[in-house]
Amino acid sequence: MIIALDGPAASGKGTLARRLARHFDLPHLDTGLLYRATAKALIDQGHNLSDPAAAISAARGLALTGFDEGSLRGREVGAGASIVGAIPEVRAALFDLQRTFAQRPGGAVLDGRDIGTVICPEAHVKIFVTATPETRATRRALELKERGETFDYDTILADIRKRDSLDATRPVAPLKAAEDAHVLDTSMLDIDAAFAEALAIVTTHAKAG
């Protein structure tokens, strides 16, 4: 079974994907890490984030293993991921890695922005996870604080709104719910309640496979 989760920044899709993967004993790919790792490579090499040639070459050099998640979760790398993710050739360079992962025997859980629309249009179940920008900003501020990166709420909310707009308006693979996705609004749900809803969606709606 392939489970596709998409949604905007800090909507909770990553946590839900991890928990669904554990529940169904499936491998999980957080595809945001690929875009984050591409951005991090550019930052480390001193390249401009909107230098397409450098971004494409960084994306082509990625493999699915060996991500240092700790160094990829910060605010600067997240914002950079959104910039490199708007470059069509970067998305093309990362396509096969994601497809190969999705087609593992037995299936997989993938989360990102375009899993249900571009990477796995044939997924057995698609969930589009949303929450209000304010809820997401509160969650992201907490997450960054736990990493030792403290920013005021308004800065994070502005980041979230900017990222939503970049992700939703780019011409290639914009963030949007697939027509056959089930929308899960987690604004009023804690993580256990959101997981219970996600699990109900999967068990009720997953196509055979």
Taking CB under 6 A as the criterion, the residue among 37, 55, 82, 141 binding ligand CDP is 82
Tokens of 202: 């999967």
Query: Please, is 127 exposed, middle or buried when counting C-beta atoms within 10 Å of its C-beta (0-12, 13-18, 19+)?
Result: buried
Instruction: State which residue, 8 or 107, has the beta carbon closest to ligand CDP.
Output: 8
Instruction: State which residue, 112 or 133, has the beta carbon closest to ligand CDP.
Output: 112
Distances in Å between the alpha carbon of 145 and those of 33, 62, 76, 137, 157? Answer: 20, 29, 14, 12, 14
> CA angle at residue 202 from 197 to 206, to 5 degrees?
155
The nearest distance, CB 208 to ligand CDP, in angstroms, is: 26
Tokens of 118: 């571009």
Taking CB under 6 A as the criterion, the residue among 85, 107, 116, 133 binding ligand CDP is 85
The nearest distance, CB 81 to ligand CDP, in angstroms, is: 3
> Are the CB atoms for 63 and 98 separated by under 8 Å?
no
Strands (E), the chain: 2-6, 28-30, 108-112, 125-130, 182-185
Alpha-carbon 101 to chain mean position: 15
Taking CB under 6 A as the criterion, the residue among 2, 4, 5, 10 binding ligand CDP is 10
Q: Which stretch binds ligand CDP (CB under 6 A): 6-14, 16-24, 182-190, 197-205?
A: 6-14
Residue 117 near ligand CDP by CB under 6 A:
no
Q: Distance between CA 28 and CA 166 in Å, rounded?
A: 26
Taking CB under 6 A as the criterion, the residue among 21, 163, 195, 198 binding ligand CDP is 163
Which residue minimizes CB distance to ligand CDP? 32
> Are the CB atoms for 48 and 159 separated by under 8 Å?
no
Instruction: State which residue, 10 or 102, has the beta carbon closest to ligand CDP.
Output: 10
Q: Which stretch binds ligand CDP (CB under 6 A): 40-48, 81-89, 125-133, 196-204?
A: 81-89
Q: Which stretch binds ligand CDP (CB under 6 A): 41-49, 75-83, 99-107, 184-192?
A: 75-83
Say how many C-beta atoms besides its own lie within 10 A of residue 175's C-beta.
Answer: 23
Residue 21 near ligand CDP by CB under 6 A:
no
**Residues that bind ligand CDP in the complex, under the rule CB under 6 A:** 9-10, 14, 31-32, 35-36, 78, 81-82, 85, 112-114, 163, 167
